[in-house]
Structure 1
Amino acid sequence: MIRATHVSQRHESPSGIVTLSYDDRFRRRIALTCDNGLAFLLDLPQATELRDGDDLLLEDGRHIRVKAAPERLMKATARDKHHLIRTAWHIGNRHLPCEIHPDHLILRHDHVIAEMLVKLGTDVEFLDAPFNPEGGAYGQGRTHSHEH
């Protein structure tokens, strides 16, 4: 099976597109199949955050474009900037992945968290869209552990 061994940004047409959820976009090694049926082995030196638009370079020079799959999400809109900061603090206190926008937050759908947000006075809207949360505070991309 052909291997993809590097991640880069290319601008030419890819040989295939692999559509992956947020969870499936943090990988080191896994067999994947493109939307067009092209199978390959992702074989990176270390676990890597794959972002929407990244390209996986195949050994033969071709490349595969990563596409973020739509997922069930929640859009939390606050009354004002202070309320948004307070809401973001509560989300961070629970160590939840979150997209931070100037006037709203995007989180994974979770009925318990939705109830908490409503109790905090936040408007919650449900949607299906790609999920691209902030990276870890202790390094680029996702971090699962860190040293203090």
Structure 2
Amino acid sequence: MSEDLPPLTDLPRAHTVLPAGYWDAAKAVGTVTLDFDHRCRRRLRLERDGNGGAVLLDLPSPRHIRDGDGLVLTGVGTVAVKAAPEDLMEVRCEAIADLLRMAWHIGNRHIPAELRGDRLRIRADHVLADMLTGLGAIVTPVSAPFDPEGGAYGDSPAGGGHGHSHGHGHDHDHGHDHHHHGHGHG
């Protein structure tokens, strides 16, 4: 860590995230541009764009911060979040049924995916590109902000929800014709 950086305790802290549309973005005291990984954190030192100085993201729990959300800095104001462009792939199909099949294959691998109406966006990955192309998809590289779905158990744009664990809270009794997964939701 560089000697000219202030300690984390001296930085303005963001304890609250305001969803896009629920705060006045015209009154933002700066912006931070973050890729998807850096928008899914609990605690992180962030640099405001344009030499605006550092701030500390210090949330009570990890959450998905979306493009346009505001980080409320104690005693300072609200900083706007911008999603940074990333290397992605757009997945398209001739028929909606085929696109749904591609979405199933992507979801079955627990790959974050952004739903864009007639196409899907996922992170660039040559192995996935080969698989999807082999299944009949049209895969095109793009550079764009990435804002994947939050999942069935949380991360709605307005927050809320509850955790979803894929721990070993399931059994596999292969002596019967059924297969049960008991997911722990806490």
Which residue does the alignment assign to 1:34?
Answer: 48
- The 8 Å contact of residues 18 and 66 in structure 1, kept in 2 or not, is answered as yes
Amino acid at match of 1:10: W
Secondary structure of residue in 2 paired with 1:51: coil
Secondary structure of residue in 2 paired with 1:97: coil
Q: Distance in 1 between matches of 2:150 and 2:165?
A: 13
Which residue does the alignment assign to 2:89?
Answer: 74
Which residue does the alignment assign to 2:32?
Answer: 18
Residue in structure 2 matching 1:49, options 61, 64, 72: 64
Residue in structure 2 matching 1:114, options 129, 133, 144: 129
Unmatched 5+ stretches in structure 1:
none
Secondary structure of residue in 1 paired with 2:148: coil
Q: Distance in 2 between matches of 1:144 and 1:70?
A: 28
Q: Distance in 2 between matches of 1:33 and 1:67?
A: 12
- The 8 Å contact of residues 63 and 155 in structure 2, kept in 1 or not, is answered as no
Q: Distance in 2 between matches of 1:36 and 1:63?
A: 16
- What TM-score does the superposition give when structure 1 sets the normalisation length? 0.93
Post-superposition offset of 1:84? 0.8
Q: Distance in 2 between matches of 1:14 and 1:6?
A: 14
- The 8 Å contact of residues 19 and 67 in structure 1, kept in 2 or not, is answered as yes
Q: Distance in 1 between matches of 2:77 and 2:117?
A: 38
Post-superposition offset of 1:143? 5.5
Q: Does 1:5 align with 2:5?
A: no
Q: Does 1:145 align with 2:165?
A: yes
**Cα 1:143–1:19, aligned 2, differ >3 Å: closer, same or farther?**
farther
- What TM-score does the superposition give when structure 2 sets the normalisation length? 0.75
Which residue does the alignment assign to 1:133?
Answer: 148
More strand by share: 1
Q: Distance in 2 between matches of 1:116 and 1:17?
A: 38
Which residue does the alignment assign to 2:106?
Answer: 91
* Residue-pair matches, total: 148
Q: Distance in 2 between matches of 1:53 and 1:113?
A: 29
Q: Distance in 1 between matches of 2:55 and 2:155?
A: 26
Q: Distance in 2 between matches of 1:144 and 1:91?
A: 18
